[in-house]
Amino acid sequence: MYAGAKAFFYALSRSASLKGLASKYGMRSCDSFARRFIAGETVEEAIETSRRVQAEGLHLTLDYLGESVRTAEEANAATRAYVRLLDVIVAAGIERNISLKLTQLGASIDRATCVDNLRRILEPAGRHGFFVRIDMENSPWTQMTLDIFETLWQQEYRNVGVALQAALHRTERDVQRMNELGARVRLVKGAYKEPETAAYQRKADVDAAFLRLMRILLDEGTYPAIATHDPAMIDGTRAYAAGRGIGKDRFEFQMLYGIRRDLQAELSAEGYGVRLYIPFGREWFPYFMRRLGERPANLGFVMRGILREK
Ligand code: FDA
C-alpha cells in the first residue's frame, strides 16, 4: 500500500496536462481540501496564513510553489518572484525564512543558470537576515543539488541549508558531509517514488534510517530540523535528546502546513521549536499530489468535496 499509493500519486504529480488544468482552473478544481495543505495562490494569502501561524507561537518557512521549469525565462521569472517575496516578507514583518527547489531555478536547464539564480536570491536574503532552505527533489537531482549547495557554501554563503531524505541509501554519507561543513540539515523521510537501487522501499526501513540519521544529526549536526509528523520519529527524537542532555534550543521540529495541527501545538507547548512549511502559489498541483500519496485516506476527502459541489 505504502509504495503503491505513493507511485500512483507520484505519476499524477508529474502529469503536465493535469498540472496545466489545475493552474488554469485554480484551487477550486480540487475542492477546498487543497487549501488544507496550501496557503493559497497569492502572496497576500500566504502572508495572512503566516501571521496566523506566528500568532500561535509557531515558526515558519514560506515556499513559493514551482518545480521542473523547462525554460530559462521560467527560471528567471521564479527567481524574480522569490526576490520580490523577500521584500514582501520584510515589509510584512514576519519571520525571514524561505524554502525553494532547484529545478524551479533552472537546474533542469543547466547548472550555471541555477547557480546564478540561487545567488540572486541568497544575496538579498543574506542582507536581510533570511535563512534559505533548499528542498530535496527526487534522486536524479540529489548530487546536483548538493554540488550547487557546496558551490555557494564555498563562496561564503552561510544563510543556506539543505533537506536530506532518509529513504535514500546514500544519505548517511551526505549527512556526514553536511556535518563536516557545519551546514544545517532538514531531515525528511522522502516524498518521491524512488527505485530500489536508490532508496529503501519498506516503511520500516525508511523509519529505521530516519532514526539513525536523526541521532547523528543531534550528536554532530548544526541546529538540525527533524521534519516529520510521525509520532514514532518524534518520540524517538525527544527521548534521544533528553537522554543525551541535548537542549531543546539545539534542534527544531518541522511539519507541513495543514498536517497534524494537534501535534504541532503539543510540541510547541512543551517548549520545542516547531516550524511550519507553508507553500503557496498557482503551481500547487504536484505538491498536493505528493501529499495525497502520503495518505491515501486524503483522497476520500477530495472525492467527498467534489461530489458535494455537484
Ligand atoms: P509518515 O508518512 O509515516 O506519516 C506519519 C503520520 O503523519 C501519518 O500517519 C499521518 O498521521 C500524518 N501524515 C503524513 N503525511 C500526511 C498527509 N499528506 N496528510 C495527512 N496526514 C499525513 N520531502 C522531500 O522529499 N523533500 C523535501 O525537501 C521535503 N521537505 C519537507 C519539509 C517539511 C517541513 C516536512 C514536514 C516534510 C518534507 N518532505 C520533504 C516530505 C517528507 O519527505 C514526507 O513525505 C512527509 O513528511 C510524510 O512523512 P512523515 O515523516 O510525516 O511520516
pLDDT band at 310 (very low <50, low <70, confident <90, very high): very low
- Cβ of residue 97 lying under 6 Å from some atom of ligand 1: no
Residue 173 lies in a domain: yes
Q: Which of 285, 300, 256 shows the shortest CA–CA distance to 14?
A: 285
Amino acid (one-letter) located at 17: S
pLDDT digits (tens, 9 = 90+) for 226-252: 999 999 999 999 999 999 999 999 999
49 belongs to a structural domain: yes
Q: Is residue 5 part of a domain?
A: no
In a domain, 21, yes or no: no
Average pLDDT score over residue span 178-199: 97
Residue 84 is assigned to a structural domain of this protein: yes
3-state secondary structure of 99: strand
Residue 97's pLDDT is what?
Answer: 98
Q: What is the mean pLDDT of residues 153-169?
A: 98
**Band (28; pLDDT cuts 50, 70, 90):** low
Ligand 1 centroid to Cα of residue 27, in Å, is 21
Which range of residues forms the domain containing residue 75? 39-283
Greater confidence (182 vs 1) lies with: 182
Active site members = 135, 186
Pocket test for ligand 1, best of 228, 237, 253, 261 (most atoms within 8 A of CB): 228
Best substitution site from 131, 136, 188 to test ligand 1's pocket, by max atoms within 8 Å of Cβ? 188
Residue 126: inside a domain, yes or no? yes
pLDDT interval class at 10 (50, 70, 90): confident
Average of pLDDT values for 84-105? 98
Provide CB contacts within 8 A for 266, sequence distance 6+: none
Q: Is 135 in the pocket of ligand 1 (CB under 6 A)?
A: yes
The number of CA neighbours under 13 Å toward the Cβ of 190 is 30
DSSP-derived secondary structure for 188-200? E---S---TTTB-
Helices (H), the chain: 2-13, 16-25, 43-55, 72-92, 111-127, 142-154, 171-181, 203-220, 231-244, 261-269, 285-294, 297-309
Higher pLDDT residue, 131 or 303? Answer: 131
* Residue 30 pLDDT > 60: no
At residue 25, the pLDDT reads 61
Is 67 within a domain? yes
Q: How many domains does the chain have?
A: 1
Residue 87 has pLDDT above 90, yes or no: yes
Q: Of 256, 215, 263, 270, which is closest to residue 49 (Cα–Cα)?
A: 256
Residue 143 in domain = yes
Euclidean distance between CA atoms 274 and 226, whole angstroms? 9
Q: Residue 37 Cα, ligand 1 centroid: separation in angstroms?
A: 12
Q: At what angle do helices 2-13 and 285-294 cross, to 10 degrees?
A: 170
Query: What CATH number has the domain bearing residue 186?
Result: 3.20.20.220
Specify the pLDDT at position 26.
66
Q: How far from each other are the two terminal CA atoms of the chain, in whole angstroms?
A: 30
